[in-house]
Structure 1
Amino acid sequence: MRTIRIIEHISLDGVIQAPGGPDEDVDSGFAHGGWAFPHFDEAVGEAIDAAHGTRFDLLLGRRTYDIWADYWPHQTGPMADQLNAARKYVATSRPESLGWGPAEGLGADIVASLTKIKAGDGPDLVVWGSSTITPALIEQQLADEVVMLVFPVMLGCGKRIFSHPAAPTELSLISSKAAGSGVVINIYKPAGPARTGTFAGSAE
């Protein structure tokens, strides 16, 4: 059984679109790409390194895969080596065009593929910034850990972490650390369906 870990750069109002650069994702005219960069510091980098571990495979949406395929093969250093060597499982309708390998498509039934991959042997699986894969993992209770890098920014528009419907879910906070830049690094574990209640009568 493999551990699935979701890593998200997220604004205070829940946006995950294009944290890394102006041209990363301009869908719907999004004009704030690169919002995470000014707040990235050593503590944030260390948190990402810890979340990756020493060896991992990747679960990626097609857009993230294409962005990274244009960038990481041309980089050097430990992070580049890890990402380039990792097997990439990609949500795509064009598996024949996955030139940045090793890579394979998840097929038409993403949930079935994710369930099979998780049940197999291998290193931890890391998910980066997919508004398609992340909701499916949460809803199907396949995610083991969610690492939220919460940036001190409010963007007002953009793709949210759950751009697609997902079952209401509770998360248990495992650890929390504030970086000097203001980024709060929260690590959660899924804790089952969201509960509801009422404060009516609680002051009586």
Structure 2
Amino acid sequence: MRKIKILEHISLDGVISPGEQNEYSQDFTHGGWMAQYRSPEGREAVVEAQGDNFDLLLGRRTYDLWTGYWPKAGNTPIANSLNAATKYVATHQPDDLEWGPVGNLGADVIAGIRDLRSTDGPDLIVWGSSTLTSVLLDQGLVDEVVLIVYPVLLGRGKRFFSDSVDPRELAFVSTKTLPTGALVNTYRFVGALRTEA
């Protein structure tokens, strides 16, 4: 069985939109907030978190954004691994996916992910894809979450976890501090949130 691992760049208040200004929404005016925290150690942490061999699970918007960037990003370990990975995209229009290799999840995305997870193969990595990450967490399909946490408060933007799904609990696994002040925190998925009776 494959593991599903979510990796996210995230602010202290839960915003996961590190891209260019207006990349995700016309209302998001803090694009590029993550740039000042980039470092060789951060790149190494991302490569380590992804592993040597993986496939991607992506929402359609993240896939389309990445299609315009990663195939042209040059010969780097991150670009090479992302370009080589099979991309499984949550989409109703699988016929127009250009950046490959591409796998098909089928019309029922959750059933397709369950079937894919049950096969032999490399881990499945999820980047961005805020709608997909919330669904995967809600359905109990996530094994591990790696949050690269930056010391900024953004106030608004795309959130890691939708407020329309039930609360979930994670167990702390490890942390690593980067020279820029960012933290790489790894968690294991536990399940529904437990509260005092």
Question: Structure 1 residues 137 and 179, CA, compared in 2 at 3 Å: closer, same or farther?
Answer: same
Q: Aligned equivalents of 1:92 and 1:100: distance in 2?
A: 14
- Equivalent position of 1:46 in the other structure: 44
Residue 38 (structure 2) pairs with residue 9 (structure 1): no
User: Alpha carbon RMSD of aligned pairs, Å?
Assistant: 1.5
TM-score (norm 1): 0.90
- Equivalent position of 1:103 in the other structure: 102
The answer to whether the 8 Å contact 2:87/2:100 transfers is: yes
- Equivalent position of 1:64 in the other structure: 62
What are the superposed Cα offsets for residues 138-177 of structure 1, whole Å, 9 maximum, x if unpaired? 1111111100011111011111112362221111000012
How many positions carry a matched residue from both structures? 196
The answer to whether the 8 Å contact 1:2/1:119 transfers is: yes
- CA displacement at 1:197 relative to structure 2: 2.6
Deviates more, 1:108-117 or 1:161-170: 161-170
- Equivalent position of 1:177 in the other structure: 176
Structure 2: any 5+ residue segments left out of the alignment?
none
Of all paired residues, the percent bearing the same amino acid is: 52
Report the secondary structure of 2:69's partner residue.
helix
- Equivalent position of 1:146 in the other structure: 145
Q: Aligned equivalents of 2:82 and 2:167: distance in 1?
A: 32
Structure 1: any 5+ residue segments left out of the alignment?
199-204
- CA displacement at 1:105 relative to structure 2: 4.2
The answer to whether the 8 Å contact 2:22/2:28 transfers is: no
- Equivalent position of 2:112 in the other structure: 113
Deviating above 3 A after TM superposition, structure 1's stretches of 4 or more consecutive aligned residues are none
Q: Aligned equivalents of 1:192 and 1:68: distance in 2?
A: 30
Q: Which has the larger radius of gyration?
A: 1
